[in-house]
Structures are given as C-alpha cells and as structure tokens.
Amino acid sequence: MADLLMRVDTDVLVIGSGAAGMMAAIEAASNGSRVLLADRSLIGRGGATVMAQMTVAVALGSETPDHWTHHYEDTLSSGRGICNAQLSQLVCEEGPDCIRIMDDWGVGWARKDGHITQVMAPGHDRPRCVYVDFLNTGPAVSKTLRAKLNKISDIRRVGDLCVVELLKCDDEVIGAVALHLGSGAPLIIFARATILATGGLTRLYHRNSASNNMGGDGYALALRAGAFLVDMEFVQFFPIGHLAPRLVGMDPIMWDPFRYKLGGRLLNNRMEEFTQRYGVAEDGKYVIARDIGSYAILKEVEAGRGSPHGGVYLSFQHCSEFELRNAFGPVIDRLASNGIDLTKMSVEVAPMAHYHMGGIAVDVQMQTRVPGLFAAGEAVGGSNGANRLSGNAVTEALVFGRRAGRSAANYAKQVAARPDHAVNIDAALDLIAAHSPPHDLNTPELIQTLQTTMQEDVGALRSRTGLERALSQIDRLTTAIGERPAGNSNKFDMRGLDWLDLRNMLLVARTVAEAANSRTESRGAHQREDYPITIPEWSFNQVVGLHDGRLSLSGFSAPKSVTANAK
C-alpha cells in the first residue's frame, strides 16, 4: 500500500511559511540542504507575518545610541521575570544583523535623513522600532522573503499542504504525513530534519487579530511527537483591537501606532478616561503595557461602563483633519471607505487574542527534546516570558528562523541514511483516508463554540470557576468530534479540514486552560480574578507534555541569565 502513495524525500522539511519558516528555508538551503517548504495555505500569505502592520524592535542604534543589552533588559522586564533569558538574548543580540540582512534584500525600512527611522513603542526605553510605511511592515517582510526564496533552486515550495502528523521512528522525527488540500490525497514526506514554523494559537479565540491558520497545529504536532510545550498559559491580548463599526480591508490591530503618534484617547461610555483607575494614567504618553491595557478595558466593561459592542471607545476627535491626514496617510481613505470619519466619531475597541508567548520548548539551537525536530518563530515558547515586548515578534521570527534553518541543516548532514518506515504512519494515513462511515458533524459550529468558550473563560481575565467550565466544555467537544474524521476525503473538503483542525485546537486549548488553572497567581498576560497578585514563588515556568494520551504539567525554571551563545 505504502508504495502506491505519494512520497517526497528531503533533507529539511519546514512547516509554515511566515517570516520564520521562510527565513529557516533560506538558511537551511544556504547551508547545503534540500528543503521542502510546506504551508497549509499559500506560500508567504497565510501566516501572521503578512498581517503585521506594526513595528519591529531592534537595537540598531540608528536613531539614538543603543545596544542589544538595553533591548534585552526591556524584553526581560516586559516578560515579568520568567523569560528564558538565553532565548531573549538570542533575539536581541542577533536582531540587528537580521534587520540589516532584510534591508540588503530590499525590504524598504522607512528612512529619514539617510538613516533607518526608529520609533518609540510601549515598554522600550528609547526609540527602537523600525517599520515600513504605511502599515506595510509585515507584507513587505513577506514579499522580500518570498522574492529571495524564489531564486533558490534547492527550496521546493508547496502550498495547500496541511501537515496532519509528524512521523516517528525510534523516538526521532523523520518527516510528516500531510493532506494535500487540492486533491484530498495524503502525502508522505521523509525528512532528515523537520522545523515547525506554524505560528501561534490565536484562532482558539473568538476575537483575534491573526489569520485563520493560527489554530496552534504546530503545538499539537510537537506534543504528539513527544516534545514539551512551555508557558502555555500566557496568551497575549492586544488591548485595542478594532471592534466596531465593521472595518474591512484593515488589520484589526491597526490603531496602536496612531495612538502613540496622536495620543488617541481611551474613553468609557461616559466619555471619561479610565486607565488611571487600574494604576496607569495616560499622562499624555499613551504607552500602557499590553497586559495592563487589556485588564483595564475588561474591568471597565465589567463595571457597566463599556461601549455598545462590549469594548471601550478610542477617540481622535481632539486631532485636526490635517494632523490625522499627516499621521494616517492613505489609511484615512481606507477608513473613509468603511464609513469612519475620525474627526466626527470614536471607534470601539476591545482586547483581542494577538500572540502566544508560550510554545514549543527548545534550546538556543531551536532544537526540541525530540531528535530531528526543531521549531522557529512564534511557535517557540520562552523568549517573551509572561508578556511580549511590542515589536519583538518579527525580530524573533527572523532570528529564530535563521538559527533553526542552520541547526536543521547541520543535523541533516550528520544523520545516517533515513529509515523509510515509521511507527505511526498507518494511523496518520488513516486520518486522511477517512474511509469510516461519514458522520454528520457541523465542524465550523464546533470551532465557533470552542472559540467562544476560550474567549469567555480562558481569556484575559480568568478564574477557577471559568477555567474549570472551559475544561468541561473541552471534554464535551473532544467527545463530540470522536476518533474518526468528519468529511469525505474529497478535494478541498473543508469539513474534514475543520475536523483535523479541531483535533489539534482542542488538545492545545486544554494545555492553555490546564496551565492557567494551575498558575494560582496573576502575572503578565495571565490575570486571575481569584488570585490577583503576582507571587514571587511563582517565578518559574510550567511545562506540558503528552504521555499515553494524557497531558502532564510540571514546573521548571528557564535559564535566567545571559550566556555566550553558541554560534
């Protein structure tokens, strides 16, 4: 049977084609590997990078003198004491080099008077964030990396390829089984090394700012392959995600840079500023940290002072039309086409799931505890601790992607000839073949139910009651989807794809809820109403593993100090 199936052999398999995956592919190829770059969507289109309209933090020192150690201090401080300092160091120390490489490749960082412009962002001690005007940072990064990839003949790019399971042989990962969406057929990929660059888990939440692909599938693949996840309770909520009126053609997190530039005011339904009630007055600076901003907004809504759609108001009505045009550029016309005139109206904003601090546990070479399995980008946990410093996401994607690509290429050179049998190949193929009697599940509705549960009970404000309710709901949904896929293994069978996604989403949702329930304190993005204080004894990390189908949770302390990184 197996030799009738489609099969591909490669040195390095990279799963996911955002900035981390593309950078990993480029670096692996330049270290002598043949690479298969797979994405469940189109290459370089579907991940989080293309959505990143914001800024990229890096100690270039082109605006004011800077050094990576200052960026590092800010990163650790934002991380509320539990960053994996070695990973944070890697991001900050190698960030400048990656940003200059992108500059050489023509990304087009905004410049002023001949130098790359760097602006302030919340949590930074000096102007440190580069960008591409206007709101074009992520698309420019994606486009630049795509153009680079296309010139490298050792990289084979394949879109519409959804990885269903990693293949194991003698406790090593030796590739993957994927569903080719366009044909509905399974594909077996044998790889000497595999890199998970699948991004985060924002799709678990009803209100989210990332693409539909970010359902945490890489976390589930890693867990089932025997890797550990770390810091899963720390989901970053972006405080002022766009809520209403309906805004299309724009990233919902677009308001932030304008708030810094123009001093956009956060107001409750009495048109009063309110953040001072929660410890941080605006003071004309508008740089409240993300965790505190989200908390303040949700508490204001809870107190009955929210806006009609359940958020608060963001107002630029104190700005002149000229100031707005100057700051927003062509964006003001896109707002107008949505019926939004900022001189006359406020918009409604609310916290949205934006980024996952937690993720796959790796060492500084981006290697997991499972031989042959690496991770890169947002999929990695640890560098951001309990709260990510703004601007670090794209930096980390580039730095971790480059490191993972190099490590995987080196690993691929060392391993002996690959076995072409795997212990779990039949089970994985069986999930795709779906020859069992079809059952009539409404999979998109089940996904929506999970998203609502996560938003309400595992969101930015948590309690034991809510978390236990969420865990019961996850149990019910897990029973409801059963062991066998819905759908008919047809071409672009969305119901079947939803089932495979749900299988991953439910496993990952459980890791978040269990880790959140276990951490009986509040820290960074993890805010417990029943344990509102940060407790010094909790200054450690929680690790999740999967053994015989059961999750296990244990504590460990990530490296807390700077070391000389192995190059």
Partner 1 sequence: MTEYARLTIWRGETIDAGRWETHEVPFEAGQSVLDGLRWIRIHRDPTLAIRFSCINANACKECMIELDGNTVYACTARLQSREMRLAPLSNKKLIRDLVTEIAPPAERFFKTNQTA
Count the site residues for partner 1 by CB under 8 A. 49
Residue 41 interacts with partner 1 (CB under 8 A): yes or no: yes
Residue 338 interacts with partner 1 (CB under 8 A): yes or no: yes
Residue 521 interacts with partner 1 (CB under 8 A): yes or no: no
Q: Is 285 helix (H, G, I), strand (E, B) or coil?
A: coil
DSSP string of 502-560, one letter each residue? HHHHHHHHHHHHHHHHH--S-BTTB-BSSS-S--GGG-SEEEEEEETTEEEEEEE----
Residue 160 interacts with partner 1 (CB under 8 A): yes or no: yes
Residue 330 interacts with partner 1 (CB under 8 A): yes or no: no
Residues 506 and 204: beta-carbon distance below 8 Å: no
Neighbours of 365 (CB within 10 A): 16
Residue 297 interacts with partner 1 (CB under 8 A): yes or no: no
For residues 128 and 62, what is the distance between their CA atoms, to the nearest angstrom? 9
Smallest gap, in angstroms, from Cβ of residue 404 to partner 1?
A: 21
Name the nearest CA neighbour of 391 among 497, 513, 260, 301: 260
Which H, E and C letters describe 150-167, residue by residue? HCCCCEEEECCEEEEEEE
User: 527 vs 17, 320, 530, CA distance in Å?
Assistant: 32, 38, 9
Q: Is 488 helix (H, G, I), strand (E, B) or coil?
A: coil
Residue 34 interacts with partner 1 (CB under 8 A): yes or no: no
Residue 279 interacts with partner 1 (CB under 8 A): yes or no: no
Residue with smaller CB distance to partner 1, 116 or 352 = 352
Which H, E and C letters describe 342-373, residue by residue? CCCCCEEEEEEEEEECCEECCCCCCECCCCCE
Residue with smaller CB distance to partner 1, 58 or 181 = 181
Report residue 519 as tokens.
């951490």
For residues 415 and 115, what is the distance between their CA atoms, to the nearest angstrom? 45
Residues 192 and 70: beta-carbon distance below 8 Å: no
For residues 154 and 240, what is the distance between their CA atoms, to the nearest angstrom? 42
Residue 144 interacts with partner 1 (CB under 8 A): yes or no: no
Residue with smaller CB distance to partner 1, 444 or 532 = 444
Smallest gap, in angstroms, from Cβ of residue 187 to partner 1?
A: 7
- Burial of residue 126, with CB atoms counted within 10 A of its CB: 0-12 exposed, 13-18 middle, 19 or more buried: middle
Q: List the one residue from 185, 287, 433, 553 that touches partner 1 (CB under 8 A).
A: 185
For residues 340 and 209, what is the distance between their CA atoms, to the nearest angstrom? 20
Q: List the one residue from 19, 35, 50, 500 that touches partner 1 (CB under 8 A).
A: 50
Q: Which one of 205-213, 277-285, 313-321, 507-515 is the stretch in contact with partner 1 (CB under 8 A)?
A: 205-213
Q: List the one residue from 62, 75, 84, 211 that touches partner 1 (CB under 8 A).
A: 211
Smallest gap, in angstroms, from Cβ of residue 185 to partner 1?
A: 4
x-or-dash string of contact with partner 1, 466-505, rule CB under 8 A: ------------------------xxxxxx--x-------
Q: Which one of 75-83, 164-172, 444-452, 465-473 is the stretch in contact with partner 1 (CB under 8 A)?
A: 444-452
Q: List the one residue from 32, 245, 279, 555 that touches partner 1 (CB under 8 A).
A: 245
Q: List the one residue from 32, 308, 330, 444 that touches partner 1 (CB under 8 A).
A: 444
Residue with smaller CB distance to partner 1, 41 or 236 = 41
DSSP string of 82-131, one letter each residue? ---HHHHHHHHHHHHHHHHHHHHTT----EETTEE--B--TT-SS--EE-
Residue 51 interacts with partner 1 (CB under 8 A): yes or no: yes
Q: Which one of 21-29, 177-185, 220-228, 461-469 is the stretch in contact with partner 1 (CB under 8 A)?
A: 177-185
Residue 445 interacts with partner 1 (CB under 8 A): yes or no: yes
Smallest gap, in angstroms, from Cβ of residue 98 to partner 1?
A: 22
Residue 175 interacts with partner 1 (CB under 8 A): yes or no: no
Q: Is 402 helix (H, G, I), strand (E, B) or coil?
A: helix
Query: Packing angle between helix 392-414 and helix 85-104, nearest 10 degrees?
Result: 90
Residue 161 interacts with partner 1 (CB under 8 A): yes or no: yes
Residue with smaller CB distance to partner 1, 185 or 551 = 185
Residue 249 interacts with partner 1 (CB under 8 A): yes or no: yes
For residues 124 and 447, what is the distance between their CA atoms, to the nearest angstrom? 37
Residues 110 and 277: beta-carbon distance below 8 Å: no
Of residues 542 through 561, those in contact with partner 1 by CB under 8 A are: none
Residue type, 319: C
Residue 184 interacts with partner 1 (CB under 8 A): yes or no: yes
Burial 152-180 (b: 16+ CB within 10 A, else e): bebbebbbbbbbbbbbbbeebbbbbbbbb
Q: Which one of 27-35, 154-162, 191-199, 348-356 is the stretch in contact with partner 1 (CB under 8 A)?
A: 154-162
Residue with smaller CB distance to partner 1, 329 or 419 = 329
For residues 302 and 470, what is the distance between their CA atoms, to the nearest angstrom? 20
Residue 158 interacts with partner 1 (CB under 8 A): yes or no: yes
Residue 6 interacts with partner 1 (CB under 8 A): yes or no: yes
Residue 433 interacts with partner 1 (CB under 8 A): yes or no: no
Residue 182 interacts with partner 1 (CB under 8 A): yes or no: yes
Name the residues that contact partner 1, by CB under 8 A: 6, 41-43, 45-46, 50-51, 53, 138-139, 150, 157-161, 180, 182-185, 187, 211-213, 245-252, 338-339, 441-445, 448, 490-495, 498
